Amino acid sequence: MHKQYNGNMMSKPQVVVKATVKAVNARRPKPRYLIGFGAKPLVFAHAILPTRGFDFIMMHAS
Confidence of residue 2 (pLDDT cuts 50, 70, 90): low
- Over 70: is that where the pLDDT of 30 sits? yes
Question: Rounded distance, CA 25 to CA 27, Å?
Answer: 6
Greater confidence (4 vs 45) lies with 45
Mean pLDDT of 19-23: 94
- The answer for 16, left when phi > 0, alpha when psi is -120 to 50, beta otherwise, is alpha
Domain map (residue ranges) of the chain: 36-61
Per-residue model confidence (pLDDT) at position 28: 94
Could you say which DSSP state residue 32 is in? -
- Over 90: is that where the pLDDT of 10 sits? no
36: nearest Cα among 19, 61, 55? 19
The contacts of residue 60 (CB under 8 Å, 6+ apart) are none
Confidence of residue 5 (pLDDT cuts 50, 70, 90): low
